[in-house]
Structure 1
Amino acid sequence: MQSICAVPGVEAAGMKEGKYGLAVIRARGTAAATFTSNLVTAAPVQVMQEQMKAGRLDAIVVNSGCANAYTGERGLADAAEMCRIAAEALGLEPGRIGVASTGVIGRYLDLDLIRRQCNEVVPHLAHTEEAETAAARAIMTTDLVEKHALVRGDGFTVAGICKGSGMIAPNMGTMLAFIYTDAEIGAEDLHESLRSAVRRSFNRVVVDGDESTNDSAFCTATGVAGPVPREKFDAALEACCISLAKQIAADGEGATRLLEVQVVGAPDEAAAETVARTVVASPLVKTAVYGEDPNWGRVIAAAGRAGVRFDPDTASLTIGEGSTLTELVTDGKIVSDLVRAKAAMHGKRVVFSLDLASGEGEAVAWGCDLTEKYVEINGKYTT
């Protein structure tokens, strides 16, 4: 599936050797990024928080298998060296190279491996579907599928690839996203647009509630298509990020179903977002979804502890959509048909819609079910 390599001026390549992969994406333009809010911040994040102040990138190098997190001064030096390795291979300036890492925390990078892989990958940079696939696979850790998104606007394109499966929580998770557009937009405006899109997409995904040390979302604008109306660009960027976010939720570690929680009638959007994220993060809700158990009271209970004021006696809750839409609570009164509710939990996507009847705010959050496989994956992650 071609997405970022559908954007003019973007080339990609990658390789994977066991748990260790490396991807390079080359595209010149204004750039912006958002990062994890975890106090324990990985070395590549610290390096890029400073480097992105320049507002431009010419390429990005990404490794998988080692997070280069909680690695102190050596980790910072190694992240900077990754930039230099890629810059040398590409014939570019190190200050214009983005760097990102994903993998095990508390391990040092194997720079010899990264140098060799980088030198092998760069000659294969191409503007093709095959090259993009190689890059997307190179950055996967426990991901089971590649994640691509493509949104075509009126005369411009926004596209991205990402990785993420576990250690996913609001304020991003163990996810890396690389987004590209041919729209012309200044670095400051791009940063504002990206922050808004991330808030309504990646920050509304919860797989397991653990916030990572390495989360990074980059967006580079090549400007080839010229300037576009800001509202149209923002809408396309948000749609691209939401598509990637939903793919992360659906591919959660051990997951069998995508969980979507729609909240309306909240005091404001922020309140709706808080409730939606609380519900998708609930282990009780997640396990009920896994077992196809229509125990909808867990949704109401999770909403009630979210810290948002509403009157439970006027709230409404449904499950499913379209032909499977089933009312569970209407204006505080129980109307549930548990047989129909259970049927609405079949399939790969389960949707709860909650109306708090307390305002005009609305938001959507995404998660997945919680299964025995999640414990198996994370109980033996490094062994």
Structure 2
Amino acid sequence: MIMTKLSTKNLVSPKGFKAAGLHCGLKHKKKDLAMLVSEVPASVAGVFTTNAIQAAPLGVTKKVVYETKQMQALIVNSGNANACTGKQGKVDAEEMQQLTADKLAIDANLVGVFSTGVIGEIMNMAPVRQGVAKLDLQDSLESAIDFAQAILTTDTVMKNTAYSTIVDGKEVIIAGTAKGSGMIEPNMATMLGFITTDANISSEVLQQTLSSLTDVTFNAITVDGDTSTNDSVVIMANGLAGNEPLTPTHPDWANFYKTLQVVAEDLAKMIAKDGEGATKLIEVNVVQALTDEEARKVAKTVVGSPLVKTAVFGADANWGRVIAAVGYSGASVDPDKIAIKIGGKLLVEDGEPVPFSEEELMQILKQHEVKIDVSLGQGEGSGLAWGCDLTYDYVQINASYRS
């Protein structure tokens, strides 16, 4: 398997993509409007929030992904979710789509629309109209950074990643950027993810691939258990690398599939690590479950437990919170076969406590990344999940979000 991490981490690194981002006035000072475009219509795939309440832009974008099955451009705003905004919200989302199409002289059915921010406020379209006109699309690192900055809300850092691989002897690049730091309980959550590639692959194969990878990446993170109204991950593949069409039977399929998985996993972990107020990334690895699905269920339950998250924040060596979460996860569990490690230190074996140094474990829990391993002794299933600690700042950020 061939894969190289690119140091530029540039969303427009794949051939034929340009981006832009600027401050149009939806937010007080920070950038709040972004656009991404491909030279040619691209194959597209998407996965979206499972919340029954869905923001107006999702309806527009789903038609592009599932009916047109091609996308050439997308527009994103932050500062306003355009969710729970009734008929006007739909009108505004469609206007954003048409504004982009007119700017680029392309069909509106090739434009995706995404919004993130406060729910329940009608979009102020005047600055959006002015902003679209001013967006200067480029294929530079600076333009990719502008895009990444413009999609952020309560995030503290940009989230970018990029890798190259080889397909049919040609370089194929896969890059991504994302936002999200709260209400992260995928299927999916307040997150937006955008992935670009110059690979040649049909929308149908791309959709199957993204859907399967989402289960082990974006759907394997949790911050606070809330599921939002806007969240989406979309990938555009414009084929300009010039490879033969990719399918699971292609000789270089593993190169493409694994590279896309690593891009998605990088973005997912960055989101989890940047949870609102978070100070630590928590990784839970579950093995010997009856199935992979049960392993992922246990892993997400542990990493999502408020008691586990607060114990990690306080560097409290309380493994009882971990085993309790395992027990109520809903997975098949034999209490006499459970083993637990934190930071590689064995704490529980065959369901019984193992002597350990409290001071040594406290030092492990003070690190910026904390790994918890759980073995269920039941089968061959395995799964990973990522999350963050729960801090005083999380409450402060969310108590004053609209102010």
- Common fold by TM > 0.5: yes
2:254 maps to 1:238: no
- Moved runs in structure 1, 4+ residues, more than 6 A? none
**In 1: Cα distance, 2:55 partner to 2:118 partner:** 11
8 Å CA contact retained: 1:19, 1:65: no
Aligned residue for 1:105? 119
Q: Deviation of residue 196 (structure 1)?
A: 1.1
Q: Distance in 2 between matches of 1:82 and 1:382?
A: 24
Task: Work out whether residues 22 and 117 of structure 1, in 8 Å CA contact, stay in contact via their aligned partners in 2.
Answer: yes
Matched residue of 2:294: which SS?
helix
Contact 1:2 1:128 in 2 (8 A): no
1:69 aligns with 2:83: yes
Name the counterpart of 2:191.
175
**Normalising to structure 2: TM-score of the pair?**
0.91
Is 1:41 aligned to residue 54 of structure 2?
Answer: yes
For residues 137 and 115 of structure 1, the distance between their equivalents in structure 2, rounded to whole angstroms, comes to 19
CA distance in 2, matches of 1:2, 1:200: 22
Report how far residue 172 of structure 1 moved.
1.3
Task: Report whether the alignment pairs 1:11 with 2:18.
Answer: yes
Tell whether 2:323 aligns with 1:300.
Answer: yes
Amino acid at match of 1:63: N
- Check whether the contact 1:2–1:132 (CA below 8 A) recurs between aligned residues: no
**Which residue in the other structure is 1:21 paired with?**
32
Q: Where does residue 5 of structure 2 map in the other structure?
A: none
Deviations 1:178-223 (A, max 9, x none): 1011111001000001111111111111011100100011100011
Counterpart Cα distance in 2 of 1:279 and 1:80: 41
Aligned to 1:310: 333
Matches within 5 A, 1:239-278: 239-278=262-301
Q: Which amino acid is 2:21 matched to?
A: G
* Aligned 8 A contact 1:36 1:171 in 2: yes
1:269 and 1:107 map into 2 onto residues whose CA distance is 41
Structural mapping, 1:1-383, within 5 Å: 1-16=8-23, 17=25, 18=29, 21-27=32-38, 28-52=41-65, 53-121=67-135, 124-154=136-166, 155-225=171-241, 226-227=243-244, 228=246, 229-320=252-343, 325-337=344-356, 338-383=358-403
Give the C-alpha shift of residue 54 in structure 1.
Answer: 1.4
Structure 1: which amino acid aligns with 2:96?
Answer: M
Shift of 1:305: 0.3
Cα separation, 1, equivalents of 2:303 and 2:35: 34
Instruction: Please list the CA deviations of residues 291-330 of structure 1 after superposition, one character each: whole Å capped at 9, or x if unmatched.
Output: 011111101100110101121111111011xxxx211112
Measured in 2, the distance between the counterparts of 1:170 and 1:130 equals: 30
Contact residue 19 and residue 64 of structure 1 kept, 8 A: no
Alpha-carbon distance in structure 2 between the residues aligned to 1:360 and 1:288? 29
Q: CA deviation at 1:340?
A: 2.0
Matched-pair contact (CA < 8 Å) for 2:49–2:186: no
Measured in 1, the distance between the counterparts of 2:62 and 2:146 equals: 27
- Contact between 2:31 and 2:149, CA under 8 Å: does it hold in 1? no
Unaligned runs of 5+ in 2: 1-7, 247-251
Relative distance call for 1:111 and 1:359 in structure 2 (3 A) is: same
Counterpart of 2:249? Answer: none
Question: Partners of 2:392 and 2:349 in 1: how far apart?
Answer: 34
The alpha-carbon deviation at position 77 of structure 1 amounts to 1.3
SS of structure 2 residue aligned to 1:92: coil
Q: Which runs of 5+ in 1 are unaligned?
A: none
The separation in 2 between residues aligned to 1:82 and 1:144, in whole angstroms, is 27
CA distance in 2, matches of 1:113, 1:89: 15
TM-score normalised to structure 1 length: 0.96
- Percent of residue pairs bearing the same amino acid type: 43
- In 1, Cα distance between equivalents of 2:158 and 2:231: 17
How far is the alpha carbon of 1:20 from its aligned partner?
6.1
Measured on the aligned residues, the alpha-carbon RMSD in Å equals: 1.2
What secondary structure is seen at the aligned counterpart in 1 of 2:175?
Answer: strand
